[in-house]
């Protein structure tokens, strides 16, 4: 992510230099018109520079994400701050070119645009954080069934005889179609399921058909009880 920010920062710097070059080095080709470096000019220039800084800050926050998925949640920060920069450039350039415009009018216009854009960026940041927290919560709540599915699939792969394969497949299918969302209220029954799955793994390793059948049946009963409780908790 650091490399991505470095590239973005380099492009940002080029655009900032180009903006200032146009503003201070290039005279508008308009007959009889000269640039007045008065109050409204500096107000507009200051807010445009502030918009540039805000865009870079938003990009830094987005690229600071640990992985691509987390960065995806932060992308609106870059897009909205870029839109804010474009809007400020358009309005600021207009204010710079409008002759005899009072500085206080330029300040009010720029403050309103900056405030509107700041609110939009803050809302995007809050929404991104909220979605990320929900995603982490869902990961935690579905970890048990995802882990159990992997274990059940492993038992099915290690089963050698057809009767044992049949029992392991029943368990695998039951786990696979179980409610993925967990809950603290299910901790006791999920602990029992874990114990029985460990016992089933031992029986499969020993190729004990009788034990596999008995334990698999117990796992199915516990999974059914868990799923019923899941429905009650929703």
Q: Is 147 within the bounds of a domain?
A: no
Angle between helices 39-63 and 103-158 (to 10 degrees): 10
Any residues with CB less than 8 A from the CB of 122 and at least 6 apart, and which? none
d(CA 90, CA 76): 21
Per-residue confidence (pLDDT) for residue 26, from 0 to 100: 65
Whether 163 and 129 map to the same domain: the answer is: no
Q: Where among 120, 135, 150 does a domain terminate?
A: 135
Q: Is 60 within the bounds of a domain?
A: yes
Q: Is 68 within the bounds of a domain?
A: yes
Whether 48 and 116 map to the same domain: the answer is: yes
Whether 130 and 212 map to the same domain: the answer is: no
- Tell me the C-alpha to C-alpha distance, in Å, between residue 54 and each of 14, 22, 143, 167, 194: 16, 21, 38, 61, 51
Whether 21 and 118 map to the same domain: the answer is: yes
Mean pLDDT by 10 residues, the chain (234 residues): 80 89 68 68 89 88 71 76 87 79 81 85 77 66 83 86 88 87 81 89 87 89 87 74
CB neighbours of residue 144 within 10 Å: 21
Q: Is 115 within the bounds of a domain?
A: yes
Whether 10 and 108 map to the same domain: the answer is: yes
Whether 164 and 54 map to the same domain: the answer is: no
Would you call 210 exposed, middle or buried from its count of C-beta atoms within 10 A (0-12, 13-18, 19+)?
exposed
- Whether 86 and 51 have beta carbons less than 8 Å apart is answered as no
Residue 199 has phi, psi (to 5 degrees) of -65, -40
DSSP string of the chain, one letter each residue: -HHHHHHHHHHHHHHHHHHHHHHHH-----TT-----SHHHHHHHHHHHHHHHHHHHHHHHHHTSSSHHHHHHHHHHHHHHHHHHHHHHHHHHHHHHSTT--HHHHHHHHHHHHHHHHHHHHHHHHHHHHHHHHHHHHHHHHHHHHHHHHHHHHHHHH--SHHHHHHHHHHHHHHHTS-----GGGHHHHHHHHHHHHHHHHHHHTT-HHHHHHHHHHHHHHHHHHHHHHHHH-
Q: Is 200 within the bounds of a domain?
A: yes
Whether 22 and 131 map to the same domain: the answer is: yes
Whether 176 and 229 map to the same domain: the answer is: yes
Whether 59 and 97 map to the same domain: the answer is: yes
Whether 49 and 128 map to the same domain: the answer is: yes
Whether 121 and 18 map to the same domain: the answer is: yes
Q: Where among 135, 169, 195 does a domain terminate?
A: 135
Q: Is 100 within the bounds of a domain?
A: yes
Q: Is 154 within the bounds of a domain?
A: no
Whether 204 and 101 map to the same domain: the answer is: no
- Whether 230 and 183 have beta carbons less than 8 Å apart is answered as yes
Per-residue confidence (pLDDT) for residue 28, from 0 to 100: 56
110: containing domain? 2-27+36-135
């Amino acid at each position: 992510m650091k490399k991505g920010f470095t590239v973005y920062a380099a492009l940002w710097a080029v655009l900032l230099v180009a903006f200032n070059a146009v503003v201070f080095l290039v005279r508008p080709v308009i007959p009889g018109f000269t640039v007045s470096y008065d109050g409204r000019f500096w107000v507009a220039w200051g807010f445009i520079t502030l918009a540039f800084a805000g865009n870079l800050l938003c990009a830094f926050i987005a690229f600071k994400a640990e992985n691509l998925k987390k960065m995806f949640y932060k992308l609106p920060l870059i897009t909205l701050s870029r839109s804010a920069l474009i809007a400020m450039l358009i309005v600021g350039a207009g204010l710079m070119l409008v002759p005899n415009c009072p500085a206080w009018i330029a300040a009010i216009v720029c403050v309103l645009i900056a405030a509107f854009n700041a609110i939009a960026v803050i809302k995007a940041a809050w929404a991104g954080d909220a979605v990320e927290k929900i995603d982490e919560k869902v990961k935690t709540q579905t970890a048990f069934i995802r882990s159990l599915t992997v274990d059940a699939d492993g038992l099915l792969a290690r089963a050698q005889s057809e009767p044992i394969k049949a029992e392991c497949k029943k368990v695998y299918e039951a786990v696979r179609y179980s409610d993925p969302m967990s809950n603290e209220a299910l901790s006791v029954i999920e602990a029992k399921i874990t114990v029985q799955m460990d016992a089933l793994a031992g029986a499969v390793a020993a190729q004990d058909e009788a034990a596999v059948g008995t334990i698999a049946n117990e796992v199915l009963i516990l999974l059914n009880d868990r799923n019923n409780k899941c429905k009650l908790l929703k």
